[in-house]
Amino acid sequence: MKNLVLFGPPGAGKGTQAAFLKETYNLVHISTGDVFRYNIKNETKLGVLAKSFMDKGELVPDQVTIDMLNAEVGKNLDSNGFIFDGFPRNTLQADALEVLLQSHETEVSAMIALEVDDNVLVQRLLKRGETSGRPDDANEVVVRNRIKIYYGETAVLKSYYSDKNKYYGVDGVGSVEDITVRLNAVINTL
């Protein structure tokens, strides 16, 4: 199995690239946000639990997120692997992902980070905000704060996966096709 942690700040193009990688390598794309929305909408046991924390303005405990991801992995064990998007966010979550995958006799193959200059990210998000209707993409101050929070919370994961020789930085600037070619070049070496 090829199990990829797709990483990058808001606006780096993770969702766009995940769609291509999913098709090219027959991988299952697991977006933490999508998994949360599905579980909450369908009022699963985990969704109701997660919503109880969210309704109080609290962070959903890591174990609830991990249990949701484990259910998604368990439903798709016949796939060629997974693309994890939005998880892990810290080393405790990265350790938990390792344990989860080991329980299915597999492991993270690589963390692939789309690297994009902050000013490019800001311009991409503001442009997306013109059509997406997302208020968090329409305000430059909010956009820059999201990018700052991303780096503050997740920078440690670069070291975490580098220490395991599983970190790959990929230039995330250029045409969608050029970026896809760069990603494929990394994945084909795994």
Q: Indicate the angle between helix axes 91-102 and 140-162, nearest 10 degrees.
A: 50
Task: Enumerate the β-bridge partners of residue 112.
Answer: 6, 168
Match 């020789």 to its residue by tokens. 165
Catalytic residue at 41?
Answer: no
State the catalytic residue, choosing from 41, 127, 134, 148: 134
* Catalytic annotation, pick one of 2, 124, 146, 182: 146
For strands 81-85 and 28-31, give the pairing.
Answer: parallel
Catalytic residue among 2, 14, 124, 182: 14
* Residue 89 annotated to the active site: yes
Question: Active-site residue among 22, 51, 89, 158?
Answer: 89
Grouping H, G, I as helix, E, B as strand and the rest as coil, residue 18 is: helix
**Catalytic site residue 37?**
no
- Tokens at residue 98, please? 């390792």
Q: Is 134 a catalytic residue?
A: yes
> Given 22, 51, 128, 164, which residue is catalytic?
128
**Are the C-beta atoms of 170 and 186 separated by less than 8 Å?**
yes
The residues carrying an active-site annotation are 14, 89, 128, 134, 146
